């Protein structure tokens, strides 16, 4: 007698639960990775802006020092915005919309400058939307982060169809 044994059904309940848990864990970890990458990019962008502003301030200050060297050698007038108090010279240079560089330098008897103060001051941002003329729209950023400087126009009434 040839009796076939009945086949046992595959019990995949525990396996399905484990695979589902692993998939949920991988989805959560990938979401956390994406959020972390976005915050790292935002931080890198802010650091880039800071580095650019720092370089702009350095350049503006070095240009002022070069103009002061020319002045002390007798070839050029005192740079614009520079005040003199005896042998001390000071200036405030605005190098970005909300940052100023304050420099104070002293000249010795040989005409050599010694910088005594080099300080970057951040000015509080002012809300300008109240100062806009009636009907004017503030600048907005497009999806690439560029400022839209051209007003919205329509072709109606211009003869263009």
Tell me the per-residue pLDDT of 9-40, one tens digit each, with 9 for 90 and over.
Answer: 777 788 899 999 999 999 999 999 999 999 99
Backbone torsions φ then ψ of 152, nearest 5 degrees: -70, 130
For the entire predicted model, the pTM comes to: 0.55
pLDDT, one tens digit per residue, over 91-118 is 998 877 788 899 999 998 887 889 999 9
Greatest distance between any 2 Cα atoms in the chain: 123
Are residues 123 and 98 in contact, defined by beta-carbon separation less than 8 angstroms?
yes
Domain ranges of the chain: 20-128
Cα of first residue to Cα of last residue in the chain, in angstroms, is 92
């Amino acid at each position: 007698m040839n009796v076939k044994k009945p086949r046992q059904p595959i019990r995949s309940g525990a396996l399905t639960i484990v695979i589902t848990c692993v998939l949920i864990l991988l989805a959560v970890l990938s979401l956390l990775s994406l959020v972390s990458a976005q915050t790292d990019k935002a931080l890198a962008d802010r650091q880039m802006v800071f580095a650019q502003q720092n370089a702009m301030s350095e350049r503006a200050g070095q240009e002022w020092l070069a103009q002061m060297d020319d002045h002390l050698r007798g070839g050029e007038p005192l740079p614009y915005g520079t005040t003199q108090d005896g042998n001390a010279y000071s200036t405030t240079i605005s190098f970005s919309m909300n940052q100023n560089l304050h420099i104070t330098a002293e000249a010795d008897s040989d005409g050599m400058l010694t910088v005594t103060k080099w300080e970057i001051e951040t000015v509080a941002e002012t809300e300008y939307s109240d100062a806009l003329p009636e009907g004017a729209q503030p600048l907005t950023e497009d999806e690439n982060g560029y400022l839209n400087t051209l007003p919205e126009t329509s072709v109606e009434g211009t003869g263009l169809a």
